[in-house]
Amino acid sequence: GDSVTQMEGPVTLSEEAFLTINCTYTATGYPSLFWYVQYPGEGLQLLLKATKADDKGSNKGFEATYRKETTSFHLEKGSVQVSDSAVYFCALRNQGGKLIFGQGTELSVKP
Amino acid sequence: NAGVTQTPKFQVLKTGQSMTLQCAQDMNHNSMYWYRQDPGMGLRLIYYSASEGTTDKGEVPNGYNVSRLNKREFSLRLESAAPSQTSVYFCASSDWAPTNEKLFFGSGTQLSVL
């Protein structure tokens, strides 16, 4: 079945470091891909999305590119801040409309 | 604009007790969802309702029931709580419009079953 696999956390970085969180997926056809972020004590909120191959989603300095050839949607940010500390979830919406989440990656940014 | 509202925020139950988690959205969305979040397992879909009057099982429906009371409200019921149901529960909604393809989440209910 369709699935999403994320790199395991926690990921600990110093402020201003470069961030990559890997995400790969398995799905038939052309799913839509998402990154959601969950700040402590809150529900998830959409960070960015891409709906077709080679699309780049971006928001708040974060970027991810839909790579059909490698079935990947890695999240990147050039310079992280303490306020980026959160749990990040990669997700896909398949052709049947079902939304499938990865297991989440916790990011901790130290000053 | 409240978005998705869940109640209660916290609940402690004894094994065998029952309770209902309430969820309401004010965005006129057709689809509503219940997820549970457990460490290392991400979010797993319990039940969903694609539209008013319909409900369907997700990945982990055992031990739960749902009611789509109207377009706004979607409740989750635990008839006989078990320690394995200790989790954080999230309600979400969406209309999946091409220009607004995302889920809106509530702030969660932390449930402990002793």
Helix (H, G, I), strand (E, B) or coil at A102: coil
Q: Are A65 and A56 in contact (CB under 8 A)?
A: yes
> pLDDT band at residue B113, thresholds of 50, 70 and 90?
very high
Evaluate the CA torsion angle A59, A64, A66, A71 in order and state its sign: negative
Does position A109 have pLDDT exceeding 70, yes or no? yes
* Tens digits of residue pLDDT in B4-35: 999 999 999 999 999 999 999 999 999 999 99
DSSP secondary structure letter of residue A83: G
* Tens digits of residue pLDDT in B63-82: 999 999 899 999 999 999 99
Q: Does B34 touch chain A (CB under 8 A)?
A: no
Q: What is the pLDDT of residue A9?
A: 85
Distances (CA, A) of A79 to A36, A40, B48: 19, 21, 38
- Report the pLDDT averaged over residues A47-73: 96
Q: What is the pLDDT of residue A97?
A: 76
Closest listed residue to residue B112, CA positions, set B87, B76, B79: B87
What's the mean pLDDT when you consider all of chain A?
93
- Contact list in A for residue B41 (CB cut-off 8 A) is 103
> pLDDT band at residue B101, thresholds of 50, 70 and 90?
confident
Distances (CA, A) of B70 to B24, B78, B93: 10, 20, 13
- Contact list in A for residue B108 (CB cut-off 8 A) is 42-43
Highest averaged pLDDT of the listed ranges A7-11, A106-110, B91-95: A106-110
- Report the pLDDT averaged over residues A61-81: 97
Q: What is the pLDDT of residue B98?
A: 61
Q: Does A32 touch chain B (CB under 8 A)?
A: yes
The secondary structure of B15-73 as a DSSP string is TT--EEEEEEESS--SEEEEEEEETTTEEEEEEEESSTT--EE-S--TTEEEEE-SSSB
Among A43, A49, A89, whose Cβ lies nearest the Cβ of B107?
A43
- pLDDT above 70 covers a percentage of chain B that reads 96
Q: Are B81 and B64 in contact (CB under 8 A)?
A: no
